[in-house]
Structure 1
């Protein structure tokens, strides 16, 4: 069972699932996917938040990849309430 946190939204699950399936992706690509019903700008905003929490990584040029932590969350092995955002951004 996945253990989301209060800051986590429905699109965050879809973003992580997309990156798990496709290995990488940009907010533009994700926003065009049939399971993600949000604008590119909103997906981009959520990607930045997911990256701050270490669930995805900005690979450069607007491309994101899922991290081990993101994979652990999808597998139900990580409680997101235990994560703290990266204060460097």
Structure 2
């Protein structure tokens, strides 16, 4: 399960999902998908925020790609809570169903 940080919006997950499925994304391309009910300027701000948190990489000219950290977030492997360290949550190894930090199989 994904643990979104308080700084994230519903649009951030969607942006990351589209970025994962494409080679790259830009505000214009994201706006043209029809998936977003926010302006191109708002999309641009969300892209920048995702970059600031290491989930996207800015290649220049408004073009972004998803990072390994972004992929791991989408897979539910890391949290984006600002007060939590990134950690892999592996619940399959713990007898009580709660993953232990550093127990990544």
Superposition map of 1:1-89 within 5 A: 1-81=1-81, 82=84
5+ residue gaps, structure 1: 84-89
Aligned length: 83
Which contiguous aligned blocks of 4+ residues in structure 1 show a shift greater than 3 angstroms?
none
Instruction: Note the C-alpha offset of 1:23.
Output: 2.1
**Backbone CA RMSD of aligned residues:** 1.1
Instruction: Note the C-alpha offset of 1:34.
Output: 2.5
| Partner-residue secondary structure (3-state), 2:49 | helix
Normalised TM-score (structure 2): 0.75
5+ residue gaps, structure 2: 86-105
Instruction: Note the C-alpha offset of 1:18.
Output: 0.7
Instruction: Note the C-alpha offset of 1:36.
Output: 1.9
Rg: which structure is higher? Answer: 2
Instruction: Find the aligned partners of 2:75 and 2:58 in 1 and give their Cα distance.
Output: 21
